[in-house]
């Protein structure tokens, strides 16, 4: 009798797990809901360039500076952070070369997996065109983020390691993202939480992003967003120090 009861119990438990899995919405439905929740396809389709101004604070190090982010379709981006006593931290891409430059690390050209990740992150309107960038989006469960019930979705890009995103069940908004980045120092894991969503034009934008990398905490605060502005083409050109690296003959 006990063996029979055990078999029934296991069968019911397995069936319950299958039913719970079936109740989870598909990953693509969750991502499409996010697009609609933040403005809709029509609103995103009208965007061609964007300038974000705000601040970045390195909490652990007690440093804070102004931040400017320029992006333009299809894949051009440039970020500049100016820290008191440190100087500028810059990175960007003209759609071909991906680079970074700071007084602490000097100029650097990103290659391989690191370049692929930067290009993925720098794709304009990636929220709308996620199907062009990812092979799959799989809902793997539910978890709470800052007290909100969320769907946990694993996205696997066409190139590079997967990332995980958490979307609020009620609003459909992105609440958290976790990823592993390729760097010259090895793989670095990070997680970011998104909050203070406000409308900029026709699209909702998170105005606060808190990122944890090892023992460091970075807080990005958005002060304003300009859309469809005329950004000079040379804004996305690598600085002279990076161009010097590009012009160096390849090591034999």
Domain limits of the chain? Answer: 25-86+124-231
d(CA 61, CA 6): 57
Q: Mind listing the pLDDT tens digit for each residue in 129-176?
A: 999 999 999 999 999 999 999 999 999 998 888 999 999 999 999 999
Helix residue ranges per DSSP H, the chain? 2-23, 27-37, 41-45, 112-121, 240-246
E-state strands within 11-109:
49-58, 63-72, 76-83, 87-93, 98-102, 106-109
Q: Are 242 and 99 in contact (CB under 8 A)?
A: yes
Strand partners, 123: none
Q: What is the pTM of this model?
A: 0.86
Over residues 203-229, the mean pLDDT reads 95
Structure token pair of residue 72: 């333009």
Check if the beta carbon of residue 230 is closer than 8 Å to that of residue 203. Answer: no
Give me the CATH topology for the region 25-86+124-231: outer membrane lipoprotein receptor (LolB), chain A (2.50.20)
Q: What is the pLDDT of residues 40-89, one digit of tens each?
A: 999 999 999 999 999 999 988 888 999 999 999 999 999 999 998 888 99
Residues 6+ apart with CB under 8 A from 103: 86, 87, 88
């Amino acid at each position: 009798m006990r063996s029979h009861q055990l078999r029934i119990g296991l069968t019911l438990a397995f069936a319950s797990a299958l039913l719970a899995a079936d109740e989870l919405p598909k990953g693509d439905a969750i991502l499409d809901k996010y697009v609609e929740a933040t403005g809709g396809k029509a609103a995103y389709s009208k965007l061609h360039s964007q300038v974000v101004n705000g601040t970045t604070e390195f909490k652990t190090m007690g440093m804070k500076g102004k931040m400017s982010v320029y992006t333009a379709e299809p894949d051009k981006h440039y970020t500049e952070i100016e820290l008191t006593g440190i100087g500028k931290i810059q990175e960007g891409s003209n759609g071909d070369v991906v680079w970074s430059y700071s007084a602490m690390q000097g100029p650097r050209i990103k290659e391989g997996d690191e370049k692929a990740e930067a290009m993925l992150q720098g794709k304009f309107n990636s929220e709308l065109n996620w199907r062009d960038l990812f092979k799959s989006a799989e809902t793997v469960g539910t978890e709470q983020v800052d007290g909100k019930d969320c769907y946990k979705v694993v996205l696997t890009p066409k190139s590079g390691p997967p990332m995980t995103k958490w979307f609020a069940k009620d609003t459909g908004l992105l609440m958290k993202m976790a990823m592993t980045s390729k760097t010259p120092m090895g793989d670095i894991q990070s997680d970011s939480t998104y909050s203070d969503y406000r409308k900029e034009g026709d699209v909702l934008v998170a105005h606060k992003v808190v990122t944890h990398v090892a023992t460091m905490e970075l807080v990005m605060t958005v002060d304003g967003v300009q859309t469809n502005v005329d950004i000079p083409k040379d804004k996305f050109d690598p600085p002279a120090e990076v161009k010097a690296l590009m012009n160096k003959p390849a090591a034999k």
